[in-house]
Amino acid sequence: MVTLLSLYVSGIATILGSAIGIPLGALIGLKEFGGKGAVKTVTYTLYGFPPVLSGLLIYYLFSRSGPLGSFGILFTPTAMILAETLLVIPLVTGVTITSVMEVDRSVKDTVRALGATSRQTTLTIMREAWVGLVMACMIGFGRVIAEVGAAYLVGGNIEGKTRVLTTAIMLETRMGNFGWAIALGAVLLSVAMAVFFFLRLLQEKEML
């Protein structure tokens, strides 16, 4: 249960974060606009966005007296997903920016010369940057599966409801059950390994 919830929360957060971050990163990376450098710097700075701050933001927004309190999602997996998504977005956006910008300028010229519209050109460049885009998802997932601050703050570590692997490890450690904590740590690593193995297969899939 705890393991599945961990996977669920991190998985959905990664998917949501990537769904926002990849297009956003492609847009920033491929379009020319004023202030592009500043936007990139801000994105990269947000790599270091502290999870507890993300948690705090969601906590404030959805707490009973907060602006979105009527949704009543605080201390549910949904709130955890939202907080984790906020953490994924800058990472995925940043890695996407770098990946699409690394696709050689001559590839863009070639694709344009072949008669592609600007939309087709963008999609083709994103596909050329495939390895980097999967990498972006990996990094995003890696951040949230291992994250504890936001999950604790907005989830509350409620048994059977919002307890995930990282918050469970914290609890067991506090209660002095080191054996359990270490075992859960091993489970966490195995889960991460399984997901990364899958993503790596996806990454190395020959795009033919």
Partner 1 sequence: MTESIRLDSVTKRYNDVTAVRDVSLSASKGEVLGILGPSGAGKSTLLRLMDLLEAPDSGSIVMNGKPVDAGTKQAADLRRNIGMVLQKPIALNRSVTNNLAYALRIRGWDESDIIDRVRAEMERFGLVDRRHKNARTLSGGEMQRLCFARVMIHSPDILLLDEFAANLDPANVALLEERVRQYAAEDCRRSIVLVTHNLFQAKRMCDRIALMWGGEIVEVAPKKKFFENPDDERTGAFVKGELVY
Cα 89 from Cα 24, distance rounded (Å)? 9
156-to-6, 76, 112, 184 alpha-carbon distances in Å = 14, 8, 52, 18
Of the candidate spans 15-23, 52-60, 114-122, 161-169, the one that interacts with partner 1 by CB under 8 A turns out to be 114-122
CB of 101 to partner 1, least distance (A): 16
Q: Does 204 bind partner 1 (CB under 8 A)?
A: no
Q: Does 206 bind partner 1 (CB under 8 A)?
A: yes
- Residue 82: closest CA among 138, 185, 9, 26: 9
CB of 106 to partner 1, least distance (A): 5
Q: Does 33 bind partner 1 (CB under 8 A)?
A: no
- For partner 1, the binding residue among 79, 88, 100, 128 (CB under 8 A) is 128
Of the candidate spans 16-24, 71-79, 100-108, 158-166, the one that interacts with partner 1 by CB under 8 A turns out to be 100-108
- For partner 1, the binding residue among 111, 126, 137, 144 (CB under 8 A) is 111
Q: Which is nearer to partner 1, 53 or 202 (CB)?
A: 202
- For partner 1, the binding residue among 42, 45, 50, 120 (CB under 8 A) is 120
Q: Is 162 exposed, middle or buried (0-12, 13-18, 19+ CB in 10 A)?
A: buried
Q: Does 35 bind partner 1 (CB under 8 A)?
A: no
Give how many residues touch partner 1 by CB under 8 A: 20
Q: Does 114 bind partner 1 (CB under 8 A)?
A: yes
- Residue 96: closest CA among 134, 56, 151, 58: 134
- For partner 1, the binding residue among 4, 45, 71, 110 (CB under 8 A) is 110
Instruction: Pull the structure tokens for residue 169.
Output: 């490890």
Q: Does 112 bind partner 1 (CB under 8 A)?
A: yes
Cα 92 from Cα 113, distance rounded (Å)? 30
Cα 96 from Cα 21, distance rounded (Å)? 8
- Residue numbers at the binding site for partner 1 (CB under 8 A): 104, 106-107, 109-117, 120, 124, 127-128, 130, 206-208
